Amino acid sequence: MKILAFESSCDETAAAVVVDGRDVKSNIVSSQIAIHRLYGGVVPEIASRKHAEVISAITKEALETAGCGFKDIDAVAVTYAPGLIGALLVGVNFAKGLAMSLDVPLVPVHHLRSHIAANYIAHKELEPPFLCLVASGGHSHIVEVRSHTDFCVLGRTRDDAAGEAFDKAARSLGFPYPGGVFIDKAAHEGNAAAVVFPRPKVDGSPFDFSFSGLKTAVINYVHNAEQKGMEINKNDVAASFQQAVVDMLAARLMLAAERTGYKKIAVAGGVAANSGLRERLGADCAQPGYSLYMPPLSLCGDNGAMVGCQGYYEYLAGNTAGLELNACANMEIDSLK
């Protein structure tokens, strides 16, 4: 089954052609980062406009790269939640129009479900059930993946997402938006033991995260140094901050694995690209019986291939939509089985 898939939930416009869920024929991503960087973060109104400008062109490119035309498409999948509402609406309306004109099923896809599905593309043998850490710019969840379309959230952030903490810490250090990758690079040159940052826990909820105290600690550290006229070593601060985030993410994930008995572990979302996190989980999952699945860096961030993959499983589960489909800014990953 050949699915044409769209993603426009934030600042990447993406289209892909995916066959039977895991065979990616094309995966075109048009990033708006350079524009939003001027403002230090995503400007929702600009994001929507840019999606509308490029979506037709990237659709054409996705079809051409896949060596097919509209007539070969069996279904259209699209990210419909969660995300920036105006941005989501561009993809949803475009997908609706296409599905209607091609007379093929329309498959709505939850953004976090598709991040998890990036692992199916990279690891052809991977099947649920498994435990997955989903860490992106907007979410940080520990998810029990019971089947391709049945999820249970075991832990979540109570405040900032991990990616958001990376981006805000990076901003205070003077790195461009989005700062996660700059912290990652700087951390390689720094000493992770140089600054002791807090690793907050959530009382009574061992699998939940809280990143806002850590983020504030970095901002305060930088401001205090500025006020005292002291030079800070950016690499050391980046390394110490990253170590704290990685400690929190990995400790909660491995505790959840131990308590639930899952030994198949996966990671997904933009923060899954972090080299410190990948290295740490590689070491943690090196114990007997454990296996670790991570998407390649190219599939960690937002893309259309992951939507095409999850869209296939949603289609098989009967989760298609009519033209009444609407976009939704907020939606739980387990709201639909």
Nearest to 313 by CA among 93, 70, 128: 128
Interacting residues of 279 by C-beta distance below 8 A, sequence separation 6+ = none
Nearest to 224 by CA among 207, 206, 237: 237
Which CB, 136 or 157, lies closer to ligand KG4?
136
Question: Does residue 59 contact residue 308 with C-beta atoms inside 8 Å?
Answer: no
Q: Looking at this protein, which amino acid is placed at residue 308?
A: G
- Is residue 169 a contact point for ligand KG4 (CB under 6 A)? no
326 to each of 14, 50, 82, 108, how far by Cα in Å? Answer: 19, 20, 11, 9
Q: Work out which of 7, 144, 160, 184 binds ligand KG4, going by CB under 6 A.
A: 184
Q: Work out which of 86, 91, 155, 180 binds ligand KG4, going by CB under 6 A.
A: 180
Q: Work out which of 137, 295, 304, 308 binds ligand KG4, going by CB under 6 A.
A: 137
- Is residue 273 a contact point for ligand KG4 (CB under 6 A)? yes
Buried/exposed code over 167-203 (b: 16+ C-beta within 10 A; e: otherwise):
bbbbbbbebebbbbbbbbebbeebebeebebeebebe
- Is residue 163 a contact point for ligand KG4 (CB under 6 A)? yes
* Least distance from ligand KG4 to the Cβ atom of residue 184, Å: 4
- Strands (E) in the chain, as ranges, are 2-7, 12-19, 23-31, 75-81, 106-110, 130-135, 140-147, 150-156, 264-268, 291-293
Q: Work out which of 7, 167, 208, 334 binds ligand KG4, going by CB under 6 A.
A: 167
Question: Does residue 307 contact residue 109 with C-beta atoms inside 8 Å?
Answer: yes
Binding mask 189-228 for ligand KG4 (x = CB under 6 A): ----------------------------------------
Which CB, 99 or 277, lies closer to ligand KG4?
277
Phi, psi of 152 (to 5 degrees): -135, 125
Q: Which does 311 bind (CB under 5 to 8 A by kind): Zn ion, ligand KG4, none?
A: none
Q: Work out which of 181, 237, 254, 256 binds ligand KG4, going by CB under 6 A.
A: 181
Question: Does residue 243 contact residue 250 with C-beta atoms inside 8 Å?
Answer: no
Q: Work out which of 21, 91, 105, 138 binds ligand KG4, going by CB under 6 A.
A: 138
* Least distance from ligand KG4 to the Cβ atom of residue 163, Å: 3
29 to each of 11, 18, 188, 227, 302, how far by Cα in Å? Answer: 10, 14, 28, 42, 8
Q: Work out which of 271, 285, 305, 306 binds ligand KG4, going by CB under 6 A.
A: 271
- Is residue 82 a contact point for ligand KG4 (CB under 6 A)? no
Cα 101 from Cα 292, distance rounded (Å)? 42
Question: Which segment (21-29, 173-181, 250-258, 322-330) binds ligand KG4 by CB under 6 A?
Answer: 173-181
Bridge partner residues of 17 (DSSP): 4, 26
* Least distance from Zn ion to the Cβ atom of residue 196, Å: 31
* Least distance from Zn ion to the Cβ atom of residue 110, Å: 11
What is the separation, in whole angstroms, between the first and last Cα of the chain? Answer: 22
| Interacting residues with ligand KG4 between 293 and 312 (CB under 6 A) | 301-302
Cα 210 from Cα 235, distance rounded (Å)? 23
Q: Which does 181 bind (CB under 5 to 8 A by kind): Zn ion, ligand KG4, none?
A: ligand KG4
Which CB, 105 or 164, lies closer to ligand KG4?
164
Chain residues in the site for ligand KG4 (CB under 6 A): 10, 136-138, 163, 166-167, 178-181, 184, 269-271, 273-274, 301-302
